[in-house]
Amino acid sequence: MTSVAQISVNDRAFAIEYAFVGSFNPGAPLIVFLHEGLGSVAMWRDFPSRLCEAVGARGLVFSRPGYGKSSARPHDEKWDVDFMHIQARDVLPAFLKAVGIDTTPHKPWLFGHSDGGSIALIYAALFPHNVAGVMVAAPHIFVEDVSVERIAQT
């Protein structure tokens, strides 16, 4: 079952779909899952739960703005090539604060896939003292125009 958190980023309000999974022990490490470019909470399926149960961690899965059941993005809105930096610098910190995650005493692990992996790496570079570690699968180091064009056609 998912919940919704309200955040404000650059004077825009967003409703963010999220769910806690895995261990409910408040002392357990937290893994924050960052989905790929076309993903969402639902697209992760049971992977976050299974990983968290296997390692005894709590998990936090969420859909970034424009994905899943989070606030929709206007169909004509174009993102610049720095969109992942905005997600890492502005959206992720606002979301963590909205759901009560204080990264000072309890540094989360970040697990990111594709775009989510890039966002995790950028966040860790910007806020190195706010993460326990980063796990990534297929992160992008740069955005290719052809990739953006193909996604727009789908």
The CATH number given to whatever domain includes residue 58 is 3.40.50.1820
CA distance 124 to 54: 24
CA distance 121 to 80: 18
The pLDDT score that the predictor gives to residue 149 is 83
Query: What is the span of the domain harbouring residue 120?
Result: 3-153
Percentage of the chain exceeding pLDDT 70: 99
Mean local confidence (pLDDT), 144-152? 79
Q: Which two tokens stand for residue 89?
A: 């610098």
The pLDDT score that the predictor gives to residue 56 is 97
Mean local confidence (pLDDT), 46-72? 98
Mean local confidence (pLDDT), 97-114? 95
CA distance 120 to 144: 19
Instruction: Please count the other Cβ atoms lying within 10 Å of the Cβ belonging to residue 16.
Output: 25
Mean local confidence (pLDDT), 143-151? 77
Q: Higher pLDDT residue, 101 or 78?
A: 101
Element (DSSP H or E) covering residue 98: helix 92-98
CA distance 150 to 154: 7
Q: Which two tokens stand for residue 66?
A: 């424009």
The pLDDT score that the predictor gives to residue 64 is 98
- The number of domains in the chain is 1
**Is 154 a residue whose pLDDT tops 80?**
no
Percentage of the chain exceeding pLDDT 90: 81
Q: Please compute, for residue 113, the number of CA atoms within 13 A of its CA located in the half-sphere on the CB side.
A: 15
**Is 143 a residue whose pLDDT tops 80?**
no
